């Protein structure tokens, strides 16, 4: 039986998880699930989930486990051939629920890929980030500016600053990360699942390192 890759991307907001996810899902042909994207879609569609999540997201807080665990596990239910999860788990409770749900299906996590970036760098990255209003293409005013200020190179739509990328919200998201999500680093380490990557390197270097690690994990699993 070919081994399946059940991967988690871990790291502070703005570590580059989305960028790496785009590349890794192509490398390994994995379904990608971002709880942040899922929640933003729910907000723009005005669903019940979106209505509950919107004020919390705009404040930089975390959507309660009782809400996010159910919707994420349901979305994952279809990914029975491996997955790449971005933005989940974000609490120990979420990690325990995910592990249990996988065990019930005789599956297990392959690894948690931690992209490490210090706080001051995160603040610089997130507050300079601009996102295209239509399709979510991402730019940075300093590191990756669009050809024409305020306009998406790819589809010409307006570039906006996500509410949760505003400076005061970024600070709150970092507090939430350190309080609730950083304990997961030790949690995964204790279970032998943690793999660390230096997220201050260029996106290409980070990608090369992660890809090599994941390829090795897959080989080891097949032996
Ligand atoms: P992200 O795009 O992953 O940074 O997610 C944006 C926002 O969605 C976060 O700041 C949280 O408010 C919320 N969110 C995303 N994933 C989760 C999760 N697993 N648990 C709780 N809240 C989440």
DSSP-derived secondary structure for 65-94: HHHHHHHHHHHHTT-BTBEEEES---SHHH
- Report whether residue 87 contacts ligand 1, using a CB cutoff of 6 Å: yes
pTM: 0.89
Q: Tell me what pLDDT residue 79 has.
A: 77
Q: Tell me what pLDDT residue 3 has.
A: 74
Taking the centre of ligand 1 as the mean of its atom positions, its distance from the CA of residue 28, in whole angstroms, is 24
Q: Tell me what pLDDT residue 77 has.
A: 84
Element (H, E) at 9: strand 6-10
Index of the ligand 1 atom closest to the CA of residue 86: 3
More confident of the two residues 187 and 138? 187
Pick the residue whose CA is nearest to atom 14 on ligand 1: 36
pLDDT digits 0-9 by tens, 3-59: 799 999 999 999 999 999 999 999 999 999 999 999 999 999 999 999 999 999 998
In whole angstroms, how far apart are CA 10 and each of 44, 79, 105, 160?
25, 19, 23, 25
Taking the centre of ligand 1 as the mean of its atom positions, its distance from the CA of residue 109, in whole angstroms, is 20
Domains present along the chain, CATH in parentheses: 5-31+79-117+177-222 (3.40.50.300)
Q: Is 218 a catalytic residue?
A: no
């Amino acid at each position: 039986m070919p081994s399946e890759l059940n991967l988690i991307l871990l790291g502070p907001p703005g570590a580059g998880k989305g960028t790496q996810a785009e590349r890794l899902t192509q490398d390994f042909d994995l379904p990608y699930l971002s709880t942040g994207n899922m929640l933003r879609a729910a907000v723009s569609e005005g669903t019940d989930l979106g209505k509950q999540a919107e004020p919390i997201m705009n404040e930089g807080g975390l959507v309660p486990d009782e809400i996010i665990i159910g919707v994420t596990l349901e979305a994952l239910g279809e990914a029975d051939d491996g997955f790449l999860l971005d933005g989940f788990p974000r609490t120990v409770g979420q990690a325990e629920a995910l592990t249990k749900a996988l065990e019930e299906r005789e599956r297990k996590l392959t690894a948690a890929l931690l992209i490490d970036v210090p706080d001051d760098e995160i603040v610089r990255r997130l507050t300079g980030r601009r996102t295209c209003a239509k399709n979510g293409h991402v730019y940075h005013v300093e590191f990756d500016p669009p050809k024409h200020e305020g306009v998406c190179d790819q589809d010409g739509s307006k570039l906006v600053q996500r509410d949760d990328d505003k400076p005061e919200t970024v600070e709150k998201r970092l507090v939430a990360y350190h309080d609730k999500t950083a304990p997961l680093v030790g949690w995964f380490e204790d279970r032998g699942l943690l793999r660390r990557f230096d997220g201050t390197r260029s996106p290409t270097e980070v990608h090369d390192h992660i890809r090599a690690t994941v390829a090795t994990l897959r080989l080891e699993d097949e032996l």
